[in-house]
């Protein structure tokens, strides 16, 4: 199954589900109401995603089992593309399991580990945010994340 929307696409491996929508944080919505714009957010997971969840997975990561993984791909303002924070070129497709840490989680959950990387691709600025359900099984779980990232495409707008 392929997800597609807002210049993003993801080929979903068996057992994965996902959604591509516009950001939903209260701050982003408030900015959009005064002339800003909402940015795309992709959520990919190995468990059923609740309809009510935050951009970084709040409301979802609390439902993860130890064997689950959650991936968020969040776009930032195009003016940020290529800046120091977003200097990395291209979506990271190979991840080092040693870089996953409970300290990297947006919402700390017992046993979980997270990873965050900012990058620029197709003239667009993004953050890749990943949560593993079991920090002790990072090597195996990271390989599952890499399989789904292999099917992600970012198009120029």
Strands, E, within the chain: which ranges?
A: 2-5, 8-11, 17-22, 40-45, 69-75, 113-121, 124-132, 152-154
What does the alpha-carbon distance between residue 121 and residue 119 come to, in Å, rounded to a whole number?
A: 7
CA angle 138, 143, 145 (to 5 degrees): 90
Tell me the CA distances in angstroms from 21 to 15, 79, 110, one per residue in order.
20, 21, 28
Q: So what's the pLDDT on residue 80?
A: 96
pTM for the model = 0.91
Q: Which residues of the chain have pLDDT under 50?
A: 29-32
Q: So what's the pLDDT on residue 33?
A: 54
39-82 pLDDT, tens digit per residue, is 999 999 999 999 999 999 999 999 999 999 999 999 999 999 99
Q: So what's the pLDDT on residue 102?
A: 96
């Amino acid at each position: 199954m392929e997800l597609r929307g807002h210049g993003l696409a993801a080929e979903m491996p068996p057992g994965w589900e996902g959604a591509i929508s516009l950001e939903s944080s209260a701050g982003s919505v408030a900015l959009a109401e005064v002339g800003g714009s909402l940015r795309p957010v992709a959520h990919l997971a190995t468990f059923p995603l609740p309809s009510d969840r935050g951009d970084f997975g709040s409301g979802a990561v609390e439902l993860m089992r130890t064997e689950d993984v959650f991936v968020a791909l969040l776009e930032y303002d195009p003016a940020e593309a290529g800046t120091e924070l977003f200097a990395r070129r291209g979506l990271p497709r190979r991840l080092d399991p040693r870089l996953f840490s409970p300290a990297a989680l947006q919402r700390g959950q017992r046993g979980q580990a997270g990873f965050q990387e900012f990058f620029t691709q197709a003239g667009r600025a993004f953050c890749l945010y990943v949560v593993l359900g079991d920090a002790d099984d990072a090597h195996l779980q990271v390989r599952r994340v890499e399989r789904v990232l292999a099917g992600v495409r970012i198009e120029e707008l």
